Amino acid sequence: MTDPLSFAVLGPVRAWRGGSEIDLGTRQQRLIVALLLARAGDAVSVAELVDLLWESAPPPSAVNVVHRHIGMLRRRFEPGLPTRAEGSVLVRDGAEYRMRIEPEALDLLRFRHLVVRAGDASGEAAVELYREALGLWRDRCASGLHVDGRVHPEFVAVDGERFAAVRAATDVALRSGRVHAVLPALRLAVAHEPLDEALRARLLLALAADGRRAEALAVYAEFEHRLADELGIQPGVELRAARDSLRDGRTPPDDSGPRHAVARQSSPLDPVETPAQLPADHPYFTGRRAVLAAAQNLLAADRRPTALVVDGMPGVGKTTFAVHLAHRLAARYPDGQLHADLRGFDSGDSVMTPAEALRGFLWSLGVAPTAIPTELPAQAGLYRTILAERQILVLLDNCRDWDQIRHLLPGAGGSLVIATSRRRITGVAGRDGTHPLHLGPLSDTEARELFTRRLGDAAADPAAVDEIIARCGRLPLALALVATRSVGRPGLSLRTVAAELTGADGRLAGFGDVHADLEASFSWSYRALSPEAARLFRLLPLHSDAELSTEAAAALAGRSVRSARGLLAELAAHLLVEPGDGRWRVHDLLRAYAVELGEEHDDGTERDAAVDRVHDFYHPRDRLGRR
């Protein structure tokens, strides 16, 4: 029988087989193990491992190096494992890796289990469970692997769980008169996070409750001097409230921890502002009942997501839906709402970096500009630490990819992120508690409801309305633009609008003076394509049907089937085509947009050659006859 494996990441990363410690190899190999353990069984992509090992300018061989490290680690965990064999411990899941770990075999999972039990208990029993959980920590998460003070956000988030547990343990200990049991862990936490005022406020109260009031006031005075000397600021509301309670000779009883002390001491000079940054809900929002219900069900589950990522083709109404959902959920998040347009598909320097977003969020959450860290991992750690103690709703619009949003996700606690993207963000499902929500075109009923709600009595021609809905492909943006155009020109009947759309011969020109708005919406996704994928997109309307196979697309583009499959996958990732049953479909309006692009960018000879290739694909005998 093979000796069981066990792992530790709450401090230096270590592994054992039975009672014998396993050599985890080089620093890069130990970093890989540390990130896999910090994910506690969840997947880590190869791209994330490359970012972990090389913060900037990874070598061309980076992916191969990661695979070699993985192979070596597998054989360390399972001696005798043949080369290239996957094994049963460090397993591959598509383009990602994860560790198969029993809950009792990893200190992080044991810590989380004890914290959950402590949260369900009370009094002395809860204090003892917290003390046992905090006793598993030997240092910072994955300590000894960081260079130049740079710490991976995943390790910062795990450290945040420790500090959140210390705060909760101290609150319980203060209520039950057992502060001596948590003081050692509390002192260590303050030493690790000297600028965490919530921890320091609890240290003051715990020292006073343990009969060390003079020491508590000295701790405050030293910290006040340090802030003034190094940062030019004074302690925050929470810490000053804790100090004032000591000067008054009182310690907060029962449920009045530092948070309640803040409430007692608040004044017009020290406002505790709640951010309320959500854009206004759309007055004509309608439909999407199934997706709204799915979101509600996810949030009602035992394991609630920390992020909902909304994707869909251009013009499908992602931002409108996300804002509406955020307003419906806002009451569940009493500590406020944050919002940022990440401009993920803008050009060049206008894309918002995670660091820019975090600086804005931290400032909105009350962190003085001079106290905001300069390094991205430290900013993310501070952000997650604050969110761990609050219930905040964060709306992130126009996200480009996983790297742009991963630093903006909460760790532990009751906060939620709603993000939107016009491309399918790879691997979102299950990663860091995220869950995708896909928006397609509206149903016929929803489209009719949206259109008539905007037009009111003017939508009294059911046949014309049905024709307009069909020509708009049930796309919310197109329906809204047509409705706006109709309202702005009272003399323009719906029957005339429907006739213009029908007579446009598959072009956006049928939308009149609002067709430029549709083109602009589609262009953001088109511009993000590689040149080869953009060329294939422009050629797609030359296929006689809106659906085609991979083989037909290969013929159209004059590329191999393998190459065409990759280009179609890129178009699908940007939600410009939709896969299904071995075929690919283009929405009618995207097809119309591609027609105009092809006529503008591709010469007639190339387009004629594409038509000939696809004809020969379907009619090979004709090709033989021409020979």
What does the pLDDT read at residue 271?
36
What does the pLDDT read at residue 338?
93
506-539 b/e (C-beta count within 10 Å ≥ 16 → b): ebbebbbebbebbbebbebbbebbeeebbbbbbb
Burial class (CB in 10 A: 0-12, 13-18, 19+), 620: exposed
What does the pLDDT read at residue 431?
60
CATH 2.30.30.40 fits 107-265, yes or no: no
Which residues of the chain, if any, have pLDDT below 50? 1, 251-272, 624-627
Determine contact, residues 315/521, Cβ cutoff 8 Å: yes
CATH code, residues 5-105: 1.10.10.10
What does the pLDDT read at residue 253?
42
In this prediction the pTM is: 0.56
Radius of gyration over alpha carbons of the chain, in Å?
29
**What is the assigned CATH class of domain 519-626?**
mainly alpha
Q: Would you kindly state where each structural domain of the chain is located, as residue ranges?
A: 5-105, 107-265, 289-439, 444-503, 519-626
Determine contact, residues 15/32, Cβ cutoff 8 Å: no
121-151 b/e (C-beta count within 10 Å ≥ 16 → b): eeeeebbbbbbebbeebeebbbbebeeeeeb
Annotation: CATH topology of 289-439: Rossmann fold (3.40.50)
**Tokens for 168?**
């909760």
What does the pLDDT read at residue 451?
85
In 3D, which of 278, 280, 313 has the Cα closest to residue 476?
A: 313
Size of the chain, expressed as the number of residues it contains: 627
**Tokens for 534?**
């953009």
What does the pLDDT read at residue 260?
38
The reply to whether 5-105 and 519-626 are identical in fold is yes
Using the structure block, give the residue that is written with the tokens 């500590």.
335
What does the pLDDT read at residue 458?
59
Strand 44-45 with 96-99, pairing: antiparallel
